[in-house]
Amino acid sequence: MTTDVAGKPKRPWWLIVLGLIVVIGLVGYSSFRLAMGVNQPRVYANDADHFKYGSISSDVGGLPYWIWATLPEVCRAQLPGGYASLGVIQEPGKMTPIGFSVRKVGLLDQVGPNCALCHSTPVRETPASAPVVYLAAPAQQLDLMGYFGFLFACGKSDSFNKANVLAAIARHKDLSFLERQIYGLAVPQVKKALITGGEQFDSIVVGRPPWGPGRVDTFNPYKVLVFHDDMSKDKSIGTADFMSIWNQQSREGLWLHWDGNNDSIDERNLSASIGAGATPLTLSSDLNLAGIERIKQWIMTLPPPRYPFAIDYAKANAGHAVYDKTCADCHEQGWKNYGAVIPTAYLGTDPERQKAFDATMAGKMNTIGKGQPWAFHRFRPTEGYASHPLDGIWLRGPYLHNGSVPTLRELLSPVAQRRPTFYRGNDVFDAANVGFVSDIAQQGPRRYYAFSTQDRGNGNGGHLYGVDLSAGDKDALIEYLKTK
């Protein structure tokens, strides 16, 4: 210990810092972070990298990176295969899988999900092939419910404590004295946040059928997180398949989302970022909005991916004529019902997702962002589902808004011939039927999800267009759809 001129013992600098942290820790960890004044998203020069790893500002309130990264070790029993077993796509040498951004807040890196988590998928030609990653495609392989379920269960468990967390982090990173103090303070805060998050999560998933891979309850999370609704009497099921988001320019002015509830591309993009964890408050910053605007510009003209396997063009040509006769009216630009919302009473597909977004909910969504230039005002309830463009349709299975029909071939079959149960989550392509392999329960450590069309919201009826075509016409039509 050194002594100053007045003869009083002078404390080492780090004790003063520690004292400061403890005092501020009492005031609140978050004010400490703000006091540090650092708030920097990572910046990527390339648009595709920005899509994969850039911030949409969900990381502003995100988890400390090292706590998040080591959770699967802290709670090994609850996720023995690590995050990879949930279907996330890990590229070599990256801090996170595709679909997560990292931002420096104060002294800590924080992590949050971005668009690519739900909007990118790997495709393998055979189980032995290397996966090819398609950005902006529905993440049909991603078990998002498993991901959230794991975070919250781990946060609640006894294993998630300061000693275990620090030990797990120390296995990967030399922690400075100061970092140890900061992570030590963060652990109880994170625990509290995960417990609260878990209660909110339970209020929208308990008593409802599991999402399974490739799906999420779209609007019920808003009721809890944004509107603080009492969910005890709400039995609605808003579970929907992730969508493709390429070629958005072709969708400008169309009433889209599965049920056609919004005709503004900006509102669809911004509401997505709020769904992913951004808040109206974080979106009031131009910097945060810029991250989303950049993605919007990129997906505006991003072309749908070409079918990567063989196509019989003569057959596809014959299929074009079948398509024009049977499908184009609703699915092709310039035709009468392109973009139209077809009432469920007529269409016959499962009504739950459409019913979950009612007039009350539309009214509430239109209150988000009041006073901001981007304030929402284009949400509306509908009576059915929208007729979307079919670009890149080969990569959009399982099909329909609830992903209840595994392949194009089954969609062209009468309901009795569509399978009542099949497996979701495989990324091996089924080129014969167009979709993903859906008859295998498990491969290596990866278990696929047994999807039951008997569950509420999972009905596979309806959309009976083309089911009466001859076998030859169906083959030709499927071949043509590969070219879209």
By CB under 6 A, name the binding residues for ligand HEC: 56, 113-115, 117-119, 144, 216, 218, 240, 242-243, 245, 248, 251, 256-258, 268-269, 272-273, 275-276, 292, 295, 326-327, 329-331, 337, 342, 347, 349, 385-388, 390, 393, 396, 399-401, 408, 411, 463, 465-466
Q: What is d(CA 204, CA 221) in angstroms, rounded to the nearest whole number?
A: 7
Q: Which is nearer to ligand HEC, 273 or 433 (CB)?
A: 273
Q: Which is nearer to ligand HEC, 179 or 383 (CB)?
A: 383
The residue (of 71 and 477) whose beta carbon lies closer to ligand HEC is: 477
Least gap, CB of 327 to ligand HEC (angstroms): 3
Q: Encoding tokens for residue 13? A: 């600098």
Asked if 73 contacts 86 with a C-beta cutoff of 8 angstroms, the reply is no
Q: Tell the smallest beta-carbon distance from residue 365 to ligand HEC (Å).
A: 12
Q: How far is the CB of 276 from ligand HEC (least distance, A)?
A: 4
Tokens of 470: 């001859």
Identify which of residues 86 and 330 has a Cβ nearer to ligand HEC in the complex: 330
Query: What is the C-alpha to C-alpha distance for residues 422 and 419, in angstroms, rounded to an integer?
Result: 7
Supply the minimum distance, in Å, between the C-beta of residue 132 and ligand HEC: 20
The distance of closest approach from Cβ of residue 267 to ligand HEC in the complex, given in angstroms and rounded to an integer, is: 9
Give every CB contact of residue 312 below 8 A, 6+ residues apart in sequence.
479
Tell me whether residue 48 or residue 170 sits nearer to ligand HEC (CB atom).
48
Closer to ligand HEC by Cβ: residue 183 or 222: 222
- CA pair distance 357, 259, nearest whole angstrom: 8
User: 379: closest CA among 289, 294, 282, 266?
Assistant: 266
User: Shortest approach of ligand HEC to residue 251 CB, angstroms?
Assistant: 5
Q: Which is nearer to ligand HEC, 70 or 349 (CB)?
A: 349
Q: How many residues does the chain have?
A: 484
Q: Is 252 left (phi over 0), alpha (psi -120 to 50) or beta?
A: beta
Q: How far is the CB of 239 from ligand HEC (least distance, A)?
A: 8
For 57, 182, 273, 290, 293, the CA distances from 286, given in Å and listed in that order, are 11, 29, 14, 6, 10
Q: Burial level of 16, CB count in 10 A (0-12/13-18/19+)?
A: exposed
